[in-house]
A = this chain, B = another copy of it.
């Protein structure tokens, strides 16, 4: 039974990868770099997005919002004057716990790809399944809030191992926490040695410029290559 289950999951991931490659081809054709943006619930993804989209000078950015239910995050981003498309992960069964390539594909017709350089896809808040499903992204950025404890890389290794950039967020709260950032970074290096990381606070703005520069770099590199 366990073996059957593994086969079912493998088949599902294979099918997903096929669609992810199609998405990626469409994004490449339009010259759009895509970021799969992930974290646990409440780590600060939406606030970080609100902060960064205005600082990407010369980069035309759009956002795809994946919510289990409602359009709260899309509504928050609506005032940022960038194209925001809401992806509803579907009612029933408590909603989906991750975005998959097919859900993203279903949103492509609504996205003005020809007018974008960068698309940031805000995934469902979850440290497990979103890491397993490619959506056609170029890079993965994940947020780890310092309020979550130093052990998260060890407990959710696939998420941290497949991230291209880790934002260590809510650093404004460090004086009020029993949290050791160096310990978190050691755990981070244990599962993904040397992975790029930035310390950020969506609240104070710390680190946002560095993140904006990292994101802009994706597009600049693309232009240099293309």
Contacts and interface: CB of A to CB of B under 8 A. Distances in A.
Contacts of A145: 42, 147
A149 to B, nearest CB: 5
A176 B203 CA distance: 11
B132 A93 contact: yes
A213 interface: no
A127 to B, nearest CB: 5
A171 B126 CA distance: 23
A148 B173 CA distance: 13
Give chain A's interface secondary structure class: loop
Q: How many copies does the complex hold?
A: 2
Contacts of A13: 93
Contacts of A172: 176
Contacts of A156: 41, 68-69, 94-95, 125
Contacts of A128: 68, 94-97, 124, 126
Interface in A1-38: 6, 9, 13
Contacts of A94: 128-129, 131-132, 156-159
Contact of A152 (B6, B41, B124, B158): B41
Given A6-B92, A127-B125, A147 B40 contact: no
A99 to B, nearest CB: 12
A136 to B, nearest CB: 18
Contacts of A6: 92
A9 B170 CA distance: 37
Interface centre among A70, A155, A158 (most CB of B within 10 A): A155
Given A42-B148, A125-B127, A155 B67 contact: yes
A222 interface: no
B69 A157 contact: yes
Contacts of A125: 40, 127, 155-156
Interface in A113-146: 124-129, 131-132, 145
Interface of A: 6, 9, 13, 40-42, 67-70, 72, 92-97, 124-129, 131-132, 145, 147-149, 151-152, 154-159, 170, 172-173, 176-178, 203
